[in-house]
Chain A
Amino acid sequence: DTEVTQTPKHLVMGMTNKKSLKCEQHMGHRAMYWYKQKAKKPPELMFVYSYEKLSINESVPSRFSPECPNSSLLNLHLHALQPEDSALYLCASSQDPATVYEQYFGPGTRLTVT
């Protein structure tokens, strides 16, 4: 099973709402990533978790809060977002943070902030 799943597929939220994005993988991967992607642009790295610990935060605003409850799950908590945060949010995982392996991507969550 080489699948990364993400829920929900689509999310519309107001600027005062609190919502969460969920990512799950059962490949035993120990590195997980959150990316933000605007239309026809490359993914922009937001966060990296290695062995369930946050290893990289690419200066992401605090209205985005990641969480890694266990080695299979990755959440992204959203609060007080701005319209410019509307984008496709991609989750990815890779086998071992200490070794170079390709990343496997989920299908993404299309987020619209109104």
Chain B
Amino acid sequence: AQTVTQSQPEMSVQEAETVTLSCTYDTSESDYYLFWYKQPPSRQMILVIRQEAYKQQNATENRFSVNFQKAAKSFSLKISDSQLGDAAMYFCAYRSQLNTGNQFYFGTGTSLTVIP
């Protein structure tokens, strides 16, 4: 099974600053999808950004962007101009392109604190 590792259990950032959350994964597959999910204290998981492995261009969604390094199996999330509402648990997730049961593999999460 694929494994997803988030080595930073907790991170903090000053409001309006930039922070990068790390994610690495282990797979023998060449085609797959990667996601960052955000879970605020209210608990609903929300998709932040998605990256297809076959795309070389890094995905961007407003203040959120990724640095996808396929050879290094690294998928970090950069949050620019951090806002108080960005405080949450962030989970990195992997999904095979193969129809292997629709399983998402989640990392252990990074708890992000935004300091006013």
Contact = CB atoms under 8 A, between A and B. Distances in A.
A55 B102 contact: yes
Interface in A30-79: 31, 33, 40-43, 45, 48, 50, 55-56
Interface residues of B, number: 25
Interface string B48-60: 0010000000000
Given A41-B109, A42-B108, A97 B45 contact: no
Interface residues of A, number: 25
A107 B44 contact: yes
A40 B89 contact: yes
A1 interface: no
A23 to B, nearest CB: 13
Nearest to B92: A42
B42 A42 contact: no
B33 A100 contact: yes
B106 interface: yes
Interface stretch (B11-19, B70-78, B79-87, B93-101): B93-101
B109 A40 contact: yes
B62 interface: no
Interface of A: 31, 33, 40-43, 45, 48, 50, 55-56, 88, 90, 92, 94, 97-98, 100, 102-108
* Nearest 4 Cβ contacts at the A-B interface: A42-B106, A105-B45, A107-B44, A56-B101
